[in-house]
Structure 1
């Protein structure tokens, strides 16, 4: 058994990414067109990666970066593979890329009802700076806005 491999996301990875997106986010999932639009901005302002285990894409993540700020756009790991540090590995890769791009601060939004993700982000030095009411649609769940300054 080989360890997980993180590599740049390609258009050929869209079907797997969309499966994960729908598994995790259901009716709040990004569309394929949205993700394709993000990939079109690589490497200029975007950095998207997939995480493979045994040749299967089991996770993905994306960063937007402009000037000296970054934004974690998305991180997702298949339910069957959660709890084993794969989300942390993806977050580490995205934060390292933010550093390579000279980001002084990185932001993200996380569902107010996703406590495991909030704990992960806090372990990585993110702090809560605000709330976006009813940010996630159609559920109307609030988003907690978090920020991490360059370490």
Structure 2
């Protein structure tokens, strides 16, 4: 038997905020590391959150959940905006060393629980096959594509709970 063993150490999913002095820089570093992986996958580093400053991150009107590992480090996070009718997953970030552990899936599932009966939308790089598989595996359906910057395309997804 060969192959890599999947790391299944537990994480704690909890509310976080980039305005927390002890967490802001760690969250920004996580975001940059995660989007660097996506940039490599889609062969384009013009992803806006990849270049965001700490002040810019803190200025976003987003709700956040973090996945904290057993050592107290932030392994992943998800941020969203919500209205009475819709939840928009703005970003899902997982540290490169924590990929393929189910952290992204667990974070999105927690947002779905919080969304209740509201429609949930999310976007990812059009050529980001791992993210697309994740969203489709959770029941999201393609809802179009958008060119956000000339030559940089995202795939839009939606999930309407039944």
Fold conserved between structures, TM > 0.5 = yes
Residue from 69, 85, 108 that aligns with 1:53: 69
Structure with bigger strand share is: 1
CA distance in structure 2 between the partners assigned to 1:89 and 1:142 by the alignment: 26
Q: Residues 20 and 70 from structure 1, CA distance in 2 versus in 1: closer, same or farther, beyond 3 angstroms?
A: same
The worse-fitting range, judged by mean Cα deviation, of 22-31 and 79-88 is 22-31
Aligned length, in residue pairs: 139
Contact 1:61 1:90 (C-alpha < 8 Å) held by counterparts: yes
Contact 1:47 1:94 (C-alpha < 8 Å) held by counterparts: no
CA distance in structure 1 between the partners assigned to 2:139 and 2:103 by the alignment: 18
- Structure 1 residue 2, shift from structure 2 partner: 6.1
Q: Name the Cα RMSD after superposition.
A: 1.9
Contact 2:78 2:93 (C-alpha < 8 Å) held by counterparts: yes
Runs of 4 or more off by more than 3 Å in structure 1?
none
**Structure 2 residues without counterparts, runs of 5 or longer:** 1-7, 37-44
* TM-score, normalization by structure 2: 0.78
